[in-house]
Amino acid sequence: MKLIKAFWTKLKSPSKAALGIVLFMGFAGGLMFWGAFNMGMEATNTEEFCSGCHAPIVAEIQETIHYSNRSGVRAICSDCHVPHEWTDKIVRKVQASKELVFHFMGTIDTPEKFQERRAHLAEREWARLKANDSLECRNCHQFEYMDFSEQGSRSAKLHSTALANGEKTCVDCHKGIAHKLPDMHGVEGWQ
């Protein structure tokens, strides 16, 4: 009883040192939490992370200009794709039903299943980029700084017309720049 009382008075009137310790612990804890959170955010932005589920795509991209070019500037997955909110999706689907989780986990887990679903996924990505006027492309490629005299005549013509007047956005004309195209049968405007 005496001990508890002594402890209580100590708590009620903490010495400056104790207060300092408490504050320091709070500060360090906050710092650690912030660090872990950022590490998590960064880890989910790496190609290794994406390759866990999208290995075929990671292999394909190495043949494209966004992987290797004369300027040595690389675009990685997350530069073009806001990492899809898969954690949200998983959480939502766990809440909905367990079968759905398995379905979700298995939708593209074999090359055959991926090929079958690829057109659908590509369409979703085109729709997203169309809706935001190809925001992720424009993070690196800015129309205002395009030097038409340096571009091929076909590029310069289309960029100074359909792109300039806002009729079309990058992904309307540039499909399959980073990946193999899915089977395009039945895709609107494609022949």
Binding site for ligand HEC (CB under 6 A): 44-45, 47, 49-50, 52-54, 57-58, 61, 65-66, 69-71, 73, 75, 77-81, 83-84, 86, 104, 107-108, 117-118, 121-122, 124-126, 134, 136-141, 143, 151-152, 154-155, 158-159, 162-163, 168-179, 181-182
| Distance of closest approach, residue 121 Cβ to ligand HEC, in angstroms | 4
Query: Is the Cβ of residue 5 or residue 70 nearer to ligand HEC in the bound state?
Result: 70
* b (16+ CB within 10 A) / e for 104-138: beeebeeeeebeeebbeebeeebebbeeeebebbe
Query: Is the Cβ of residue 23 or residue 97 nearer to ligand HEC in the bound state?
Result: 97
The answer to whether the Cα torsion of 120, 169, 89, 106 is positive or negative is: positive
Amino acid at 161: T
Query: Is the Cβ of residue 31 or residue 68 nearer to ligand HEC in the bound state?
Result: 68
CB 177 within 8 A of CB 64: yes
| Distance of closest approach, residue 30 Cβ to ligand HEC, in angstroms | 27
Query: Is the Cβ of residue 11 or residue 73 nearer to ligand HEC in the bound state?
Result: 73
Residue 186's CB is within 10 A of a number of other CB atoms, namely 7
Token representation of residue 180: 């193999």
| Distance of closest approach, residue 132 Cβ to ligand HEC, in angstroms | 11
| Separation CA 14–CA 17 (nearest Å) | 8
